[in-house]
Structure 1
Amino acid sequence: MENTEKMPITYEELKQELIDSGRPYDFDMIDRAFALANQAHSAQRRRSGEPYICHPLSVARILIDLGMDSESIAAALMHDVAEDTDVTVDEIRSKFGPEVALLVDGVTKLTQIKFSNVEDRQAENLRKMLLAMSQDVRVMIIKLSDRLHNMRTGDAWPEQKRRDKALETMEVYAPIAHRLGISNIKEELEDRSLQYLDPVGYNTIRDLLDKHGDEFLHGVCDTISAHLTENGIENAKIKYRVKSVYGIYRKMYMQNKEFEEIYDIYAVRIILNSVAECYTALGLIHDMYHPLPNRFKDYISTPKPNGYQSLHTTVIGHEALPFEVQIRTWDMDRQAEYGIAAHWKYKEGITSSGDKLDERLAWVRQLLESQRSSADATDLLSDIKSDLLPEEVFAFTPRGDVINLPAGATVIDFAYAIHSAVGNRMIGAKVNNRIVPIDHQVVTGEIIEIITGPENRGPSRDWLNIVKTSEAKNKIRNWFKKERREENIAEGKDALERELRRNMMTIPPEHYDEFMSNLARRNRCNTVEEMYAAIGYGGLQLSRMLTKIKDEYARLKASEPKPVTLDIKRIHSSEGVVVEGIDNCPVKFAKCCSPLPGDDIIGFVTRGFGVSIHKRDCKNVHESMRHPENADRWVRAYWDTAAKEQYSATLELTCMDRNNLVSDIALALSDMRVPIYSMAARAAEHGRAHMSLTIGIMNTEHLNNVVAKLKKVKDVISVLRT
């Protein structure tokens, strides 16, 4: 596939390319599809000014390069008519049959997905995309081709749209192309995106590539070809490639390497008839050139998860330039170039190889299946990014089975990749016969033995912060979900109440059950217990719930009735406090919260000592109200605004230690005519001093003024009310 967009294509040219391919295409269907699309788009033009039909023609050309079937070509020609014109999917179904209609409808729905910054919506859109792909992967291959042509002609977009599309392409479409094994599309999507996101970095690398390479690689190919023929390997196809710009960019800018330190910029590809010839050729290459240590990879015996197979070795040429040699068979080469598209077989109706496709799409279904057990849709985002990572590691069980994992995966991920029962019973691991910690990251080639404990042993909650793969996370969550329900409920409830206290939210006891029910419903849980359990086992994360908690709390506060205004003339105050329904009642102020005028207060009728006044948000109030025997003893209380009494307040000051500090603070209080009841000061480490003051104030507004003035005293760092 070419990396540059050709001149706008005509249908006659497209049809000639179909004929030249030698495949038995259904030309009658393709002719009718073009006629319908050409008529539907006749009045439309692209941003660049060219007729709109050029776009579907170009998408169809990309699919021919991929070797796709007649239905895919027809659907590509019509992929925009259902969205942009009066033609409906039902009309396409009646004229072209259900298969083509399914492809057009699938691509239309994918096109309508708008990736936003709202994580919930983005996660749902990714889920829809994966569902479409799991039903018929051709939908995604057509969509990737559509995105590729749009990126090739993206210069016509406004600058911000170019950057948005490039970021979306880099984060979503290129990783999916990688997992489908379509390396050409994946690399070009990344390069085009980089060109818009970092044009300076892109052009720097392009300039470096233009100065090296072509003549050197031509010479290497000729030398290898002659040497293989001399040693009895004939009909070898030898070609070369230069590493993609984005591939070099990642190593230069993300791994901080110099251009000369990257050993696989240049690669020679040798395509042979059999696997035996591949290994023979590898020995001949190592005879001709000096191989670099630790740069050999055998992906033939250990294929990558996307099906890629090849032998890789890096050698130093006679010009002292390192280059990579890739050795593979013709089937492996088709797989590497076209990925999942290579499975389309051209028989009488051009049908696909179902078994292979099912095998290749297993990861999509597995990802969707595991997500059903998660209450938090945004987990899908991080799972997509971890499961679609291009870098993989390969490790072995003691029996020699190969386990593929994303880079950065731990031995816990390895255990769960073998079986959930192995992960749940894991108590340790050995790597190459040596005990390692459980957060040990797997390195390619390691032989890992998982040490297991008794059957009733389960995973640790801390593992959720260690594991890398979505598979391991979901298996751990599922274990806690099934085996530790009561523990999960208790732990989830405690965690939620701690979060409420941390955010200074006090739920009145009479509204507590309703508040929690509403919160559970907003988090898609059937009951409050289910919500607590989900928090407990990690299915719901408090950090992501916080916005909904705050919304619900704001709604609760807005619905609370306003305080009843009492007639001060009829009910007299005591100590500047009015207690509803009790005249001249003896009052004392609770030491646990030390309320001051201006604070929202409540009274508690004590046994023999009058009424104890607390702040409404005092934690003791909340705890006491939960006990039925105390509920009736809480009474409404208000400050008497007419009373002019003084109250004591204690302040803690943190200061930088210096001479005259105490006298400056006392002088500041004297200027404000604030009485000082007690004062204590002590030196602290790092040249600091702590001071405790008990002063007389009128109300919270007065106190706030005093605090503000004290903060202005030189070397006072903080002033806190205790």
Structure 2
Amino acid sequence: MELAKLVDSLPTGTPLPERLLVERAHEFAARQHAGQMRASGHPYLQHCMAVAEILAGLNLPAAAIAAALLHDVVEDTSTTVADLQREFNPEIARLVDGVTQLTQQVARVDKAGAPDPAPALPGTITAQRADTIRKTFLAMGDDVRIMLIKLADRLHNMRTLAHLPAAKRQRIAQETLDIFAPLANRLGIWQFKWELEDLGMRHTNPARYKELAAALQMGHGDRERVMAEIVKRMERELQLQGITADVTGRPKHLYSIWRKMERKEVTFEKVFDVRALRVVVHSAAAEAGEDEKAHERREKLAIANCYVVLGLAHQIWKPIPGEFDDYIATPKDNFYRSLHTAVVYDDGKTLEVQIRTREMDQNANLGIAAHWRYKEGNRKLDKSFDQRVEWLRSMMDWRSAVTDGPEFVDALKSDLFPDRVLIFTPRGDIIDLPAGATPIDFAYHVHTSVGERCRGSKVNGKLVPLNYALHTGERVEILTAKRGGPSRDWLNIELGYVASARAREKIRTYFKLQDRDNNVVAGRRMLDHELKRLNLAGVLLDELATEFNFEKADDLLAAIGCHDLSSHTVINHVVRQLRAGQTDEARLLPPPDSTRHGAPVETTEVSVLGTGGLLTRLASCCSPLPGDDIVGYTTRTRGISIHRGDCPNVLATREPERLLACSWGREAARSYPVPLRIVAFDRAGLMRDIATRVANEHVSIKAFDMQPDQGHVVLMQMTIDVSNLAQLRKVLSGIEQVPNVTEVHRIKPGKT
């Protein structure tokens, strides 16, 4: 797009000074980016113009367009934010500074010419990239224009992604599918969402993308012919009723087709048995100088006609029971409004029908940007815009409290993006929560004091545990105490009490305000509990505190106690120390819990110093687990037997020359046997409940033995197969929750 066309595309009524602002921004960007080229070989200014053009299509005002033209000058040239303040104004400088987002030390993998980080696993987001995303969203603040500029920037980068190396394309595309396409969905910008998803799929799953594109093209003619007949039939019926509307076949996109195939486990042909029709009902022509009330009256008449069209569709074709959704009366959480129904067409196949007004259609395509418009010659914003901004702000009010990058990405995926549940309060109000939300999440959403005093819950009138996963349509009642506070167990991820970042941060804030001595005691108890049940001995707290940048051990324990620092993070650090220093390869290994953002790498599970390709097996006498100090013992017929360093058989050997230095390689996609000791008071169903908890974590029980001790106390020994320490911790936590279990821990070698 040429500059003149860009200026002409500004909203009607844009004053001359603001048009000149866009021209000045273009001139400044051209001067600063002079000589810079993108990976495609095109001048860098073309990218800036493309981003501005995308935003002009959303009808954004001049300040946002100018900021789009300048969005990379601070990051990629010698220009500073202060320069922009002097050259333009504080608003432009703030917008550009918000889009810049990152410090100069953070590598940008989505820019041409940026350093290429180490290869990542397919479908993963590295910790560094996770921290980059966290900083991005913090920098965005509450100004929606910053988010829109960033989305437009990402959209154009995705359109030109083919010019980057394959590994970089894979990473950026996966990040787009995980973060930016869902963000566009939550902002209601459907046209951004579908294009980001399709482009993301093209680079993350190219074979499937090409296969679907070819299949879509093959039957194109027949589908178009049938849809033309459907459109003509509906247009005739609307004309008879005197209703003016645009009737079209609703477009389908490759990513949504693929997701539906995966979700319903059907073939491409089955997906396209479902045709889609969209009816956009016109409202009466606006009168000159009409006020807001007159506009609302016209929209109400158009909405009434939407329901008339719905009746026509059900009269022409047979409706399918249970397939009607009224998003006009009850809009989606991203403010989407429309009528959805499904009918059986003349050929016996399903026809989906969407019915909405023009205003609803614009809202569906442009989302929050649809409300950024001039009204009656002034710059007053649509009230719907304020509602959306307030909703978005409430959704992300936890951002500044989360400092860990991977945790921030997890919170984004759970709180901001798809897979939501709609829960009813006792008064009938609807609460929007992330999928997997519990009564505690619900309580904190209602009010912080309700969450802190929550002691029980009822779902549809029945008592349920506080870690019960809520489902859409359920009615929840919270049982509260007169006073009190949350439990520290609520922050234990393994117990599943809290799913939303909003509730988690409110609980953390509560404990931060508690007495320091109480936090030190709680932190010591939590850390000792983890170390004891995993049998990780010899940890020096003073040294550990120094490694976490605390002056003394009590400072470390206080941070753990108030949940500023997770005990799991400390345990992972301890495990990394155990694994470090043995081989150069071992120093590069991630902690056992690092698989949270990716799948484990299948490589050799044990490295034997000075050898390669030797047969190794894990000794059954001590059952070593990744993270343990290990040593190899050369057997005469069965290769090298891997023992724990403190295994009694190794310590008692009379042939030390047969011992070999060993270290753990990367976790292989296999399991390791771990013996456990369980102490419990006997009762009916005890073994069943323990086995159920283990099975819930998809862990196999290899051996089980139970012996009576004294009175009603029983001692159990169980051998389970786990993949890493994270999975072992989840199993231990699950067993600890079984009624009557008093103790469970991993057995040290040579002991029972």
Length-normalised TM-score, structure 1: 0.68
1:687-714 deviation per Cα after TM superposition (whole angstroms, max 9, x unaligned): xxxxxxx99x9x8663656999xxxxxx
Query: Structure 1 residue aligned with 2:450, among 396, 418, 422?
Result: 422
Question: 1:293-692 residue pairs with structure 2 within 5 A?
Answer: 293-346=321-374, 351=379, 353=381, 356-362=384-390, 365-366=393-394, 369-372=397-400, 376=404, 378-452=406-480, 455-456=483-484, 458-459=486-487, 461=489, 464=492, 465-466=495-496, 467-479=498-510, 489-500=520-531, 502=534, 504-506=536-538, 514-515=542-543, 517-518=545-546, 521-522=549-550, 528-529=553-554, 531-536=556-561, 538-549=563-574
Question: Contact 1:412 / 1:438 at 8 angstroms: preserved in 2?
Answer: yes
SS state at 2:329 partner: coil
2:96 is matched with which residue? 104
In structure 2, relative to structure 1, the CA distance for the partners of 1:420 and 1:703 (3 Å cut) is farther
In structure 2, relative to structure 1, the CA distance for the partners of 1:42 and 1:483 (3 Å cut) is closer
Equivalent position amino acid for 2:192 in 1: I
In structure 2, relative to structure 1, the CA distance for the partners of 1:550 and 1:479 (3 Å cut) is same
Q: Are 2:5 and 1:10 equivalent residues in the alignment?
A: no
Question: Contact 1:89 / 1:105 at 8 angstroms: preserved in 2?
Answer: yes
Q: For the residues of structure 2 that align with 1:331 and 1:459, how far apart are their CA atoms? A: 47
1:197 is matched with which residue? 204
Q: Which moved more, 1:528-537 or 1:169-178?
A: 528-537
Larger Rg: 1
1:197 to partner: Cα distance: 0.8
Q: Are 2:190 and 1:183 equivalent residues in the alignment?
A: yes
2:310 is matched with which residue? 282
Question: Contact 2:421 / 2:471 at 8 angstroms: preserved in 1?
Answer: yes
Q: Are 2:251 and 1:226 equivalent residues in the alignment?
A: no
SS state at 1:394 partner: strand
Q: For the residues of structure 2 that align with 1:411 and 1:398, how far apart are their CA atoms? A: 13
SS state at 2:356 partner: strand
1:152-188 deviation per Cα after TM superposition (whole angstroms, max 9, x unaligned): 1222222222212211212222122122211111110
Q: For the residues of structure 2 that align with 1:492 and 1:377, how far apart are their CA atoms? A: 23
Q: For the residues of structure 2 that align with 1:82 and 1:375, how far apart are their CA atoms? A: 25
Query: Structure 1 residue aligned with 2:166, among 133, 140, 159?
Result: 159
Q: For the residues of structure 1 that align with 2:580 and 2:204, how far apart are their CA atoms? A: 42
Q: Are 2:202 and 1:174 equivalent residues in the alignment?
A: no
Q: For the residues of structure 2 that align with 1:482 and 1:88, how far apart are their CA atoms? A: 39
Q: Are 2:60 and 1:68 equivalent residues in the alignment?
A: yes
In structure 2, relative to structure 1, the CA distance for the partners of 1:652 and 1:59 (3 Å cut) is closer
Q: For the residues of structure 1 that align with 2:154 and 2:403, how far apart are their CA atoms? A: 32
In structure 2, relative to structure 1, the CA distance for the partners of 1:135 and 1:420 (3 Å cut) is closer
In structure 2, relative to structure 1, the CA distance for the partners of 1:229 and 1:39 (3 Å cut) is same
Equivalent position amino acid for 1:229 in 2: Q
Q: For the residues of structure 1 that align with 2:43 and 2:149, how far apart are their CA atoms? A: 20
1:82 is matched with which residue? 74
Unaligned ranges ≥5, structure 1: 1-8, 557-650, 656-667, 669-693, 709-718
In structure 2, relative to structure 1, the CA distance for the partners of 1:415 and 1:88 (3 Å cut) is closer
Question: Contact 1:409 / 1:469 at 8 angstroms: preserved in 2?
Answer: yes
SS state at 2:411 partner: helix
In structure 2, relative to structure 1, the CA distance for the partners of 1:434 and 1:547 (3 Å cut) is closer
1:94 is matched with which residue? 86
% identical aligned pairs: 37
1:138 is matched with which residue? 145
SS state at 2:565 partner: coil
Equivalent position amino acid for 1:441 in 2: A
Q: For the residues of structure 2 that align with 1:413 and 1:265, how far apart are their CA atoms? A: 39
1:434 to partner: Cα distance: 4.5
Q: For the residues of structure 2 that align with 1:300 and 1:652, how far apart are their CA atoms? A: 64
1:39-62 deviation per Cα after TM superposition (whole angstroms, max 9, x unaligned): 333433333333333222222221
In structure 2, relative to structure 1, the CA distance for the partners of 1:103 and 1:720 (3 Å cut) is closer
1:661 is matched with which residue? none
1:148 to partner: Cα distance: 0.9
Q: For the residues of structure 1 that align with 2:380 and 2:149, how far apart are their CA atoms? A: 15
SS state at 1:275 partner: helix
Question: Contact 1:430 / 1:448 at 8 angstroms: preserved in 2?
Answer: yes
Question: Contact 2:22 / 2:65 at 8 angstroms: preserved in 1?
Answer: yes
Question: Contact 2:422 / 2:472 at 8 angstroms: preserved in 1?
Answer: yes
Question: Contact 1:397 / 1:449 at 8 angstroms: preserved in 2?
Answer: yes
Question: Contact 1:291 / 1:314 at 8 angstroms: preserved in 2?
Answer: yes
Q: For the residues of structure 2 that align with 1:652 and 1:224, how far apart are their CA atoms? A: 73
Q: For the residues of structure 2 that align with 1:283 and 1:424, how far apart are their CA atoms? A: 48
Q: For the residues of structure 2 that align with 1:245 and 1:181, how far apart are their CA atoms? A: 19
1:530-577 deviation per Cα after TM superposition (whole angstroms, max 9, x unaligned): 643553465532332235446889999xxxxxxxxxxxxxxxxxxxxx
1:88 to partner: Cα distance: 4.2
In structure 2, relative to structure 1, the CA distance for the partners of 1:169 and 1:349 (3 Å cut) is farther
Question: Contact 2:59 / 2:373 at 8 angstroms: preserved in 1?
Answer: no
In structure 2, relative to structure 1, the CA distance for the partners of 1:87 and 1:482 (3 Å cut) is closer
Question: Contact 1:652 / 1:721 at 8 angstroms: preserved in 2?
Answer: no
1:202 to partner: Cα distance: 1.2
Q: For the residues of structure 2 that align with 1:55 and 1:347, how far apart are their CA atoms? A: 31
1:145 to partner: Cα distance: 1.0
Question: Contact 2:622 / 2:750 at 8 angstroms: preserved in 1?
Answer: no
Q: Which moved more, 1:408-417 or 1:384-393?
A: 408-417
Question: Contact 1:375 / 1:540 at 8 angstroms: preserved in 2?
Answer: no
SS state at 1:90 partner: helix
Q: For the residues of structure 1 that align with 2:127 and 2:502, how far apart are their CA atoms? A: 21
Q: For the residues of structure 1 that align with 2:622 and 2:81, how far apart are their CA atoms? A: 72
Question: 1:227-266 residue pairs with structure 2 within 5 A?
Answer: 227-232=237-242, 234-262=243-271, 266=276
Q: For the residues of structure 2 that align with 1:652 and 1:27, how far apart are their CA atoms? A: 77
Query: Structure 2 residue aligned with 1:209, among 209, 216, 225?
Result: 216
Q: For the residues of structure 1 that align with 2:32 and 2:511, how far apart are their CA atoms? A: 56
Q: For the residues of structure 1 that align with 2:248 and 2:102, how far apart are their CA atoms? A: 36
Length-normalised TM-score, structure 2: 0.66
1:506 to partner: Cα distance: 2.0
2:654 is matched with which residue? 702
SS state at 2:42 partner: coil
SS state at 1:702 partner: coil
Q: For the residues of structure 2 that align with 1:153 and 1:406, how far apart are their CA atoms? A: 33
Equivalent position amino acid for 2:236 in 1: A
In structure 2, relative to structure 1, the CA distance for the partners of 1:295 and 1:504 (3 Å cut) is same
Q: For the residues of structure 2 that align with 1:548 and 1:480, how far apart are their CA atoms? A: 23
Q: For the residues of structure 1 that align with 2:274 and 2:552, how far apart are their CA atoms? A: 56
Q: For the residues of structure 1 that align with 2:5 and 2:552, how far apart are their CA atoms? A: 63
1:198 to partner: Cα distance: 0.5
SS state at 2:158 partner: helix
1:393 to partner: Cα distance: 2.4
1:35 to partner: Cα distance: 2.5
1:119-171 deviation per Cα after TM superposition (whole angstroms, max 9, x unaligned): 66445433332233224221221121121112112222222222122112122
1:593-638 deviation per Cα after TM superposition (whole angstroms, max 9, x unaligned): xxxxxxxxxxxxxxxxxxxxxxxxxxxxxxxxxxxxxxxxxxxxxx
Equivalent position amino acid for 1:189 in 2: L
Q: Are 2:42 and 1:55 equivalent residues in the alignment?
A: no
Question: Contact 2:372 / 2:382 at 8 angstroms: preserved in 1?
Answer: no
1:376 to partner: Cα distance: 4.9
